Amino acid sequence: MSNAKLWGGRFSESTSEAVEAFSESVSFDARLWKHDIAGSKAHARMLGRVGVLPAADVEAICAGLDAIAGDIEAGRFEWRTALEDVHMNIEQALTDRIGEAGKRLHTGRSRNDQIATDIRLYLRDAIDDLVADLNRLSEALRALAEREADTIMPGFTHLQVAQPVTFGHHMLAWREQILRDRDRLLDARRRTNVCPLGAAALAGTVYPIDRAYVAEQLGFDGVTANSLDTVSDRDFAIEFVSACSLLMVHLSRWSEELILWNTPMFGFVQLPDRFCTGSSIMPQKKNPDVPELVRGKSARTTGDLMSLLMLMKAQPLAYNRDNQEDKEPLFDAHDTTAACVALYAELIPALSVNRSACREAAIQGFSTATDLADYLVRKGMAFRDAHHVVGNVVAHAVQQGTDLASLPLDTLKGFSATIESDVFEVLSVEGSVAARDHVGGTAPARVRAAAKDASRDS
């Protein structure tokens, strides 16, 4: 019994049903259908342009592919696992529709360069959509930073109160992470946007193809340089998932802060009810499920990245069937990251900030101790000596159960005679924040100026 597959001429028996079920990919790569059809139409037009296909075949192929696209969009298309993947399903449907011309479409190409093209087209769209959502999120952070430019809160190191900052300054720190993520994706897009078609299985083709024409039709910046590398390269996919993974790490860090800030112990922020859920047993609970799930989903994208790295680490050139396993982690990383970014772009503008709770927390933990040390330095004391003096002042305040700004002037002068009444200007959290009025500083005026700087969004 012969094999009825499109590639089955040299086989003497049909593929095992178990092997078909094990090796099919159409259950997940069918999402590439738009890109597959776009690539096939560009390939067909090129074959007509160079005289490999007659114009009538090109016209029939393109019309047939458009009809198939319409059926897929309408939900009328039957995906068959026996046909293995998105490419063979569409090619067989085309041949069923238009006959002999459909069999000629695959002239001068292989599924190896075809899938490489499909994935690059898919990722180009994915990056563009993700960058648009990151820009939306960046704007939400910018607006929140401007709104909360005067809101004083504690800055932390080691999760201990360190120095006073503003909530706006903190939001701009988050925004810096997002802007880097966006730039990484745009940089990855440049390496993604080259056309693999023409590499065929691994060694190119004998037909007089015009790769530049195909690339131009599909909006690629150019063509790949080496056919062996072209069909086996998944660096661009790994790079995309790496960027997604790091982006998700950033969102996970935000989530951790929001979860803490939303607790009664902090009380810095209130999450909108629509982003939270309740408890099945405790009526009072309002759980920050969205930040918690985003924090959890960051593990998925990291796992997706590890899957792709391990997939490629021992593959010899050129294409290997292992690469069928690249799509599920790639799609999962994209879907997960896009969903989380979109949710945060909705959540951030609706975040409610408890300004009094933020300020009260900034007063605790002796957050202006460094300002007192700098005050002494400006009075002529060496910094290490000033550090020691302020350490003694803090130890005294701890024993007295008070903060630095509440210590009497005479008590402060007992630690250093250079301390005068102007010391209380630097011991207030407002004075501390205002003093750091420099580029990148936390002073409200600087925060507003940074928030209004649209040049970072270009």
DSSP class per residue in 189-241 = HHHH-EE-TT-TTTT--SS---HHHHHHHHT-SEE-S-HHHHHH--HHHHHHH
158 catalytic residue (yes or no): yes
Structure token pair of residue 201 = 């299985």
Instruction: Mark whether 106 is an active-site residue.
Output: no
Q: How many CB atoms lie within 10 A of CB 10?
A: 7
Burial annotation 309-329 (CB, 10 A radius, 16+ → b, else e): eebbeeeeebbeeebbebbeb
Q: How far apart are CA 186 and CA 151, in angstroms?
A: 34
Task: Transcribe 297-366 into DSSP letters.
Answer: HHHHHHHHHHHHHHHHTTPPSS--GGGGGGHHHHHHHHHHHHHHHHHHHHHGGG-EE-HHHHHHHHHTT-
| Angle formed by the axes of helices 167-192 and 444-452, nearest 10° | 30
Residue of 2, 27, 279, 356 marked active site? 279
Q: Is 84 exposed, middle or buried (0-12, 13-18, 19+ CB in 10 A)?
A: buried
Nearest to 63 by CA among 103, 101, 16, 117: 101
Task: Kindly state the helix (H) or strand (E) to which residue 160 belongs, with its residue range.
Answer: strand 160-166
Tokens 């009497």: give the residue. Answer: 408
Which is the catalytic residue, given 158, 280, 352, 455? 158
If one counts every other C-beta atom within 10 angstroms of the C-beta of residue 85, the result is 26
Helix (H) or strand (E) holding 161: strand 160-166
Q: Which residues are catalytic?
A: 158, 279
